[in-house]
Amino acid sequence: MEKKKVVVGLSGGVDSAVCVIKLLEAGYDVEGMFMRNWDSSLNNDILGNPHTLDDVCPQEVDYMDALTTAKELGIKLHRVDFVLEYWDRVFKYFIDEYKNGRTPNPDILCNSEIKFKAFLEKALDMGYDYIAMGHYARITHHDDGSLEVYRGIDKNKDQTYFLCQLTKKQLEKALFPIGDLEKSEVRRIAKEHNLTIANKKDSTGVCFIGERNFKEFLKNYIPATPGNIETLDGEIVGRHDGIMYYTIGQRKGLGLGGAGDAWFVLGKDIKRNVLIVGRGGEQEYLYSNRCLVSKMNWIGEELDPNKEYLAKFRYRGQDYKVFIKALGEGIYEVNYPSKAKAVTPGQEAVFYDGERLMGGATIDKVYMDNLERRV
């Protein structure tokens, strides 16, 4: 019987390397593909970039690590460039959301538009049966064509939150070989195979861009527009550099002092370019028990308005019990009896049935009872 062909998104890190090992052990015909999705010089990535004076940029270091891993594991490595696709499909949206005072999650869009779309299309064109990624998630493919996605075994590394906008068609061609492993086990396997990258640190920062001084990084693309910082009753207590630099619930970096409790961000008045802050007992204004969401992507069975689901409103955030109701025209109401803190427009609400990923949607408006929060 002919082996199924799988191409692994080989990033130069330990997770994708162990994916190759697991797939080879399972009897697949495996090759690797390195994605180049960001060009700092072409994309004016200057301010906030700690690597502008490096002899070799981090992406090329990752590519060389991927080459080394491929040689050590005896597989072929391809290289593909999605710089234009990443800019058009992910980064433009990312910047537009910040311009509108919202807080987007580029990693989710990066998965749905690049890793599981541009990359998948390229892989299928090249004749592969599946793509595989080093995500900490589990997927079950059934003979009838149906599938389920479950949280990764390692709860500290689970990445199903970032997969919530993937379609069933995309997931049909996806494998997650390390989803049933703890991170420590992944490291152990890499060391057992004497991989050079066995102890390499995990990548952090914006998807495919990396670590940046985020405030300075945004200045490359959005002109700073200073404005007032006000309390809930309209008292001006300071000035901000631009409301896109601040997130709901933020405490540090506000430049506000004085006696009393620490200040924190309560919301944003986009029309007036005002950052709204509070202190002490005013934290109650950060809480909500209802939100409206759009861009719903549902991969489980049909949504049941009478069923209690679980929701995460941010990566590594706690689970909240919720009920979801369709309001029409692509808008859904999410009710959560246990109040949640700092639910933020632009972020994603990700839904589960126990351990199973059911889907996700973008948060648009946030309410405490019938009062809309100014966020």
**Cα dihedral across residues 316, 319, 320, 322: positive or negative:** positive
| Averaged pLDDT for residues 154-182 | 97
Which residues is 365 bridged to in the sheet?
A: 292
**Tokens at 109, concatenated:** 């869009």
Tell me how far apart the alpha carbons of residues 204 and 183 are, in angstroms, rounded to a whole number.
16
Residue 220 included in any domain:
no
What is the per-residue pLDDT for 206? Answer: 72
Residue 219 included in any domain:
no
Q: Are residues 134 and 269 in the same domain?
A: no
| Averaged pLDDT for residues 244-250 | 89
164 is catalytic: no
pLDDT at 260 over 90: no
Q: Are residues 170 and 313 in the same domain?
A: no
Tell me how far apart the alpha carbons of residues 266 and 252 are, in angstroms, rounded to a whole number.
13
Q: Are residues 159 and 87 in the same domain?
A: yes
Which of 108-112, 154-158, 209-213 bottoms out in mean pLDDT, i.e. has the lowest?
209-213
Residue 221 included in any domain:
no
pLDDT category of residue 322 using cuts at 50, 70 and 90: very high
pLDDT at 375 over 60: no
Residue in the block written with tokens 């540090």: 252
Which of 39-48, 288-297, 298-307, 324-333 bottoms out in mean pLDDT, i.e. has the lowest?
39-48
Single residue among 185, 214, 243 that ends a domain in this structure: 214
The more confident residue out of 258 and 352 is: 352
| Averaged pLDDT for residues 81-85 | 95
Q: Are residues 108 and 144 in the same domain?
A: yes
Q: Are residues 301 and 160 in the same domain?
A: no
pTM: 0.92
Q: Are residues 199 and 343 in the same domain?
A: no
Mean pLDDT of the chain: 93
Share of the chain above pLDDT 90, in %: 74
Alpha helices in 111-232 (DSSP H): 119-125, 168-171, 183-192, 214-219
Tell me how far apart the alpha carbons of residues 54 and 212 are, in angstroms, rounded to a whole number.
14
Residue 202 included in any domain:
yes
Tell me how far apart the alpha carbons of residues 252 and 263 are, in angstroms, rounded to a whole number.
8
pLDDT at 205 over 90: no
Of the residues 19, 164, 207, 291, only one is catalytic, namely 207
Domain tally, the chain: 2
Residue 282 included in any domain:
yes
DSSP string of 238-302? EEES-GGG--TT--TTS---SSSSPEEEEEEETTTTEEEEEEGGGGGGGEEEEEEEEEEEE-SSP
207 is catalytic: yes
Choose among 349, 338, 350, 363: nearest CA to 288. Answer: 338
Q: Could you tell me the residue range of the domain that residue 361 belongs to?
A: 226-375
pLDDT tens-digit map of 1-16:
688 999 999 999 999 9
CATH code at 18?
3.40.50.620
Return the DSSP state at 316: T
| Averaged pLDDT for residues 175-183 | 98
Q: Are residues 140 and 235 in the same domain?
A: no
Contact 18, 189 (CB under 8 A): yes
Q: Are residues 199 and 238 in the same domain?
A: no
Single residue among 182, 214, 246 that ends a domain in this structure: 214
Of the residues 19, 110, 164, 291, only one is catalytic, namely 110
Single residue among 165, 184, 214 that ends a domain in this structure: 214
Residue 140 included in any domain:
yes
pLDDT category of residue 374 using cuts at 50, 70 and 90: low
What is the per-residue pLDDT for 103? Answer: 85
